[in-house]
Homo-oligomer: A and B are copies of this chain.
Amino acid sequence: MSQLAEFLATNQNKNVEELKELLRIPSISAQSEHKEDVQTAASWIADKLKNIGMEHVEVIQTEGHPIIYADWLHQENAPTVLVYGHYDVQPVDPVHLWETPPFEPTIRDEKIFARGATDDKGQLFLHIKAVESLLKSEGKLPVNVKFCIEGEEEIGSPHLPAYLTDNKEKLSCDVVVISDSDMWDKGVPAITYSLRGLCALEVSLHTANTDLHSGSYGGGVQNANHLLVQLLSSLHDTNGKVNVAHFYDDVVELTEFEKEQMKALGLDEEKVKESLGLTDLTGGEKDYSYAERISSRPTLEINGMWGGFQGEGTKTVIPNEAHAKITCRLVNNQQPKKIQELIKKHLEEFAPKGCTIKVSLQDTGNPFLTPIDSPMIQKAAEAYQNVYGKSPVYKREGGSIPIVSDFNQALNVPVVLMGFGLPGENLHAPNEHFHLENFNKGILTICSFFELIKK
C-alpha cells in the first residue's frame, strides 16, 4: 500500500477542502425551501463520482429527493461491495447556538465543524475518497464497488426501500457497507452488528355515547380511564416482562461470546443514572442486565396515553373514551407484523367488560443482525486493526435504522456498519463536527477492507 499511502499523504489537505465544498451545500431534506440545495448536493456527489472514475453514474429522481447510483465493476473474480450513505442533513435550529455558521465549515482542534460533518457527509465522503485514492494510486480497485446514496435519510427514507426491491439485480453485491454510526471511543473502533426493529400500535377504548356527569352517573357506569388502566396494566408482569402470549417466542438469546463482549464494554451505569437524574435503572426485565435490556431485549412501551380532562382545575366528568400509543423495540428474529397481531389479540382478549376497543396497526421496521463471526464482519475488524492498531468492539444498538434491514432483506447479503463518528459529535444538534483523524483513518480503513475481502 505504499503508493496508496503516499497518495493519501499528499492529498490530505485537498480531501478536506473538497469535504468543505460538500458541507457548504445546505441540503436539508426536511425543509422545502432547501429542495434545490438537496439537488445541488446530489449533482455535486454525482460529478465527484464521475471525476474519480466511477462509471454508470446516475441521479435518479424520485417524488422526493434523488438517489445516486454509480459502479466500478472490473474485478471479475472479486466480490462486490455496495456502499450506502446519505447526502442530506438535519435542520440547523437553533442557529444561535452554533459557534460558527452551520454551512461554513470551520476547523478547530483537528475537528471540522458543520451540519452534516459526521452525519453523514463526512462518513460518506471518506468512501468516495478511498475509491479515488485506490484508483488514482493503483489504477484499479481490488474489488467491485457500487454506490447507492440517498438524500432522504433524515426524513425516514420514504423512497429508497421501493428502489431497493425494484433494482435487486442492479444492486446485487456480496456485502453492504455503511458508515453512519459511531466508534466506541477515541481510538477504539466499533462495529454495530445489531439494531432493534420496531412496531407501533394505537388502542382506543370507548364506553358510553358521551362523557357523563360524575354526580349523576358516578359509581354506576364504567369510566374509560379506569378500563384503559386495567387493560394497560395487563401488558407487563411484575418482573417487567411483556405479558403478551408468544411475544418472546422468536427472540434469539445472546451467545456467550456476545455476553462477554457486552460485559467487557463495561457500560458505566452510575454515569447513566447521574446523567438522567435517576436513582435506579429498573425498567424492563428483571432477569437481564441494563446493557442487555437496552440493546438485545425486546420492549413494549406506552409512548402516550390520554383520556378525559387535562385542563386547569377540576372537571367532574366520567370520560367515555381513552387512548394509548404503543411501540415495541424488537430483536432478531421477531417479526414486527406478527408481534403487532399478538398485541392486538391480547388487547382484544383482555378488553374489560363494558367497553369496545379499536386497535390500529401502524409503522413497522425489521430488526437487523449480522452475526459477529460472519466473514465480512471479521474482515472489517481486521481492517480496523490494521489502521487503528486495535480490534473493534462489537456493539448492539437499541435504536432502529429500518433502511439497514431493508438492504439486508432486499439484497440478502450481510450489512457491515463501520462507524467513524465519535460519541459527542453533536449529530442532529448545534456544533456538529467530525474528527479529521477519523476522516483520514476512515479512508485508510475502507481501502484496507477492500484489499482484505478480495479473493
Q: Which A residues from 279 to 334 make CB contacts under 8 A with B?
A: 279-285, 288, 290, 293-294, 297-299, 301-310, 313-319, 322-325, 327, 329
User: Nearest 9 CB-CB pairs, A to B?
Assistant: A215-B399, A209-B277, A219-B284, A304-B308, A219-B293, A304-B309, A220-B294, A225-B302, A219-B299
Is A198 an interface position by the 8 A CB rule? yes
Which partner residue on chain B sits nearest A295 by CB separation? B219
Name the B residues within 8 Å of A279 (CB-CB): 354
Task: Give 6 A-B pairs besides A225-B301, A280-B353 with Cβ atoms closer than 8 angstroms.
Answer: A198-B316, A217-B283, A220-B272, A225-B303, A226-B236, A229-B229
Q: Which A residues from 71 to 130 make CB contacts under 8 A with B?
A: none
The answer to whether B302 touches A223 (Cβ under 8 A) is yes
Binding site for B on A (CB under 8 A): 196, 198, 200, 207-210, 212-223, 225-226, 229-230, 232-233, 236, 272, 276-285, 288, 290, 293-294, 297-299, 301-310, 313-319, 322-325, 327, 329, 353-354, 362-363, 397-400
Measured in the bound complex, the distance between the Cα atoms of B278 and A212 in whole Å is 12
The answer to whether B282 touches A216 (Cβ under 8 A) is no
Measured in the bound complex, the distance between the Cα atoms of B397 and A307 in whole Å is 26
Name the B residues within 8 Å of A305 (CB-CB): 225, 229, 305-308, 322
Measured CB to CB, the closest approach of chain B to A320, in angstroms, equals: 9
Q: Which of A297, A397, A398 has most B Cβ within 10 Å? A: A398
Name the B residues within 8 Å of A216 (CB-CB): 294, 398-399
Name the B residues within 8 Å of A299 (CB-CB): 214, 218-219
Which partner residue on chain B sits nearest A307 by CB separation? B305
Copies in the complex: 2
The answer to whether B229 touches A302 (Cβ under 8 A) is yes
Measured in the bound complex, the distance between the Cα atoms of B301 and A306 in whole Å is 15
The answer to whether A214 touches B354 (Cβ under 8 A) is no
Which partner residue on chain B sits nearest A276 by CB separation? B208
Sampled A-B contacts (9; CB under 8 Å): A196-B218, A208-B277, A214-B301, A221-B278, A301-B316, A303-B308, A303-B316, A303-B317, A305-B322
Measured in the bound complex, the distance between the Cα atoms of B230 and A226 in whole Å is 12
Measured CB to CB, the closest approach of chain B to A163, in angstroms, equals: 23
Which partner residue on chain B sits nearest A272 by CB separation? B220
Q: Which of A221, A281, A313, A323 has most B Cβ within 10 Å? A: A221
Q: Which of A233, A303, A304, A313 has most B Cβ within 10 Å? A: A303
